[in-house]
Chain A
Amino acid sequence: MREMIISELSQALHEIARDFAHFLPRLIVMLILALAGWAIAYVVKAVLRSILRLIKFDKLSENAGASQLLAKAALPSATEMLSRFVFWVTWLGFILLGVRALGILGLQEQVARFFLFLPRLFVAMFILFFGLLAASFFSRAALLAAVNANVPSPRVLSLAVRTIIIVFVLSIVFEELGLAEQTMLVAFGIAFGALMLGLAIAFGMGGRDLAKRFLEKKFVRGKKEENEDELSPL
């Protein structure tokens, strides 16, 4: 009986030792991959940061309105944020490769899913950035046009343009990421519909006088504003 126990124990210890001997090289490989990954990610981050500074990415981000959002959230500059993001994605990629090398069955599927998700993440970020850029450009264009045409409440018009574009961009981003697609679709439909209804009511209520003036100017001849001379700028 005693010998049996000792034999079982020694066999169990032997198996553990064998498994550990089997696992140790994989762990070392994982650590090497993580270490090498950190070094590579660091180099990628440094190179990317230089390139972004060279192409004045912060300026672009400022124009897109992204810098202001980052500043409000007490986050670093857009260049720094993107560099850090790429650093972490690269390093995480190497760590996950290392985890895969460990040969743990359950984890392998998660790792594969992560790598499949990466391109979609980048596309979503790309859409978000250029969407913010477009929102900033068109809202400013609307603001300038409204101010120069002496339209009442130009900032409301500009904000409406910005909001519509951002809502539209966010719905595309979430769809790209595959996050709560149905919820986002419904939320987008409700938000967009509410916005349009709100605008329609606002324009209908507030624009009566404007529409009246416009129609009078357009169709009632001889009623030039206060019969005053218009100045030619040139």
Chain B
Amino acid sequence: MAEESFLTDDFLRQLINVGEVDILVGLPTHNNAKTIGPIVHTIQSGILRGFPRERAVIINADGGSRDGTPELVTGISIDDVRPASNLQALRTLHSISTKYASSPASGVALRTTLAAAELLRAKACVVMSPESVSIEPEWLSKLLRPIYDDGFDLVIPTYRRHKFEGLLITNLLYPMTRALYGLRIREAYSPEFGFSGRFGSQFLGQNVWNDGTDGAGVELRFTLAAIARRYLICQSFLGEKDRIEHSGADLVPALRQTVGTMFSALETDFPVWSAVAGSQSPPTNGADHEMLLEPLRINRKRLREMFSTGVAELQSVFQSILSPSTLAELQRIAPLGDEEFHYPAELWVRTVYEFAASYQKSVISRDHIVQALAPLFRGRAFTFLMDNRNASADEVENNIEALCLEFERLKPYLLQLWKPRE
């Protein structure tokens, strides 16, 4: 098996000792000692409750933790969970750990998990985030049952979020995935997801592991591959997603992981998405979204100012990426004040599509193209915040739906810009 080659001998030995399993839980970590204990307990509890008769293993792929995270994962005994929950497992629950590198790389972590799943012939697998402190034992069943019982290949979670959390997802990733691939997946880029051994093995064999990005955004690539290859996909509502503190500087890495990955996938998936018209909702267990409306203090002014500065300072870069009409329109709105400023949906969609086409044509360095989108996204985020500051959940959802329809309506524009493969 070719995929064995990158696994260490020690890890292979541990896998051989485990033997075949029914359920595999992947847990990628890097210095997560503060949160990992309760998460492993919850995972064990989830397995005991949902899958007491199945053979299960927790695979910890660690990216060089220095705080003893792997030892914590393997050291937590299932006996700690049993008395508290009054649960009994009929099989041994294994926990094994491997250090795949001295620095974290989400792609290598997922590849390690997929390779382990293939070697152990796991029927249903789930990847859990080591930072999801709000994890509940039921999450495992929600992500695994559709695969184990109903034959699905990929289970994507949906969450209860604040209306202003995940603006990159609501304003770009969700609408664009939906418009181009034709499936209304709310959280195409999620740290938690379930998948079948069948799809895991197929993805493991794909040529996506050596693109020089250390696998940033590979989870999104995983979802898009499942959609493109017509695997059975469903969504499961998990509950509230933790609010992780992100600074504004996190936007560029987030764009690389999501927008960069999606633009790159569009190239290989062109025959698929170019033939898709309209969009459909996948089967969903529970709500496909829920919104929190509590008031937040947000520095909106800073977003608009960074947009205006970006448009003014990056003119030479935008001239290479955007059409003259789009750039002229952006330059028209850039100096407007907070009250007059509005980045309309149509202009935003055109901007994103022109960025995607420029990425495909490599008009400048592809990483620079992705970075150049950051100030424009801030402008769009400002408009979204202003439009929805007093909006109810339904009104916000209607606005997101309108944006999605705009992405779908303008899809021919992207096809027109797309350079045919030579």
Among residues of A, the one whose C-beta sits closest to the C-beta of B302 is A150
Question: B365 touching A147 by the CB < 8 A rule?
Answer: no
Question: B309 touching A150 by the CB < 8 A rule?
Answer: yes
Q: What number of A-B contacts does a CB cutoff of 8 Å give?
A: 85
Over the window 150-186 of chain A, the binary record of Cβ atoms lying under 8 Å from chain B Cβ atoms (1 yes, 0 no) is 1000110000000000000000000000000000000
Question: A231 touching B313 by the CB < 8 A rule?
Answer: no
**CB-CB nearest 6 A-B residue pairs:** A233-B168, A232-B246, A144-B371, A233-B254, A228-B297, A229-B296
Question: A233 touching B167 by the CB < 8 A rule?
Answer: yes
B contacts with A: majority SS: helix
Is the CB of B306 closer than 8 A to any CB of chain A? Answer: yes
Over the window 117-149 of chain A, the binary record of Cβ atoms lying under 8 Å from chain B Cβ atoms (1 yes, 0 no) is 000000000000000000001001101110111
Is the CB of B298 closer than 8 A to any CB of chain A? Answer: yes
A37 to B327, CA, bound (A): 50
Question: B250 touching A233 by the CB < 8 A rule?
Answer: yes
With A140-B364, A149-B249, A229-B297 known to touch, is A234 a contact of B371 (CB < 8 Å)?
no
Is the CB of A225 closer than 8 A to any CB of chain B? Answer: yes
Is the CB of B291 closer than 8 A to any CB of chain A? Answer: no
Question: A143 touching B313 by the CB < 8 A rule?
Answer: yes
Q: Could you list which residues of chain A lie within 8 angstroms of chain B, going by C-beta atoms?
A: 63, 137, 140-141, 143-145, 147-150, 154-155, 225-234
Minimum C-beta distance from A147 to chain B (A): 5
Return chain B residues, CB-CB under 8 Å to A155. Answer: 313
> Which residue of A140, A231, A232 contacts B368 across the interface (Cβ within 8 Å)?
A140
Most buried by B among A145, A155, A231: A231
Size band of the B side of the interface?
Answer: 35 or more
Question: Which residues of chain B from 293 to 312 have any CB-CB distance to chain A below 8 Å in the complex?
Answer: 296-299, 302, 306, 309-310
Minimum C-beta distance from A134 to chain B (A): 12
A226 to B247, CA, bound (A): 14
Question: B189 touching A234 by the CB < 8 A rule?
Answer: yes
Minimum C-beta distance from B299 to chain A (A): 5
Minimum C-beta distance from A140 to chain B (A): 6
Question: A231 touching B298 by the CB < 8 A rule?
Answer: yes
Task: Pick 6 A–B contacts, CB within 8 A, sort by A.
Answer: A63-B364, A147-B314, A225-B299, A229-B297, A230-B247, A231-B167
Most buried by A among B244, B251, B297, B314: B314
Minimum C-beta distance from B388 to chain A (A): 13
Minimum C-beta distance from B367 to chain A (A): 8
> Which residue of B165, B244, B252, B258 contacts A148 across the interface (Cβ within 8 Å)?
B252
A234 to B164, CA, bound (A): 10
A140 to B316, CA, bound (A): 9
Minimum C-beta distance from A29 to chain B (A): 47
Question: B299 touching A226 by the CB < 8 A rule?
Answer: yes
Minimum C-beta distance from B174 to chain A (A): 11
Is the CB of B122 closer than 8 A to any CB of chain A? Answer: no
Return chain A residues, CB-CB under 8 Å to B255. Answer: 233
Minimum C-beta distance from B283 to chain A (A): 24
Most buried by B among A144, A145, A149: A144
Is the CB of B169 closer than 8 A to any CB of chain A? Answer: yes
Most buried by B among A137, A147, A225: A147
Question: B166 touching A140 by the CB < 8 A rule?
Answer: no
Minimum C-beta distance from A101 to chain B (A): 47
With A63-B364, A233-B250 known to touch, is A143 a contact of B314 (CB < 8 Å)?
yes
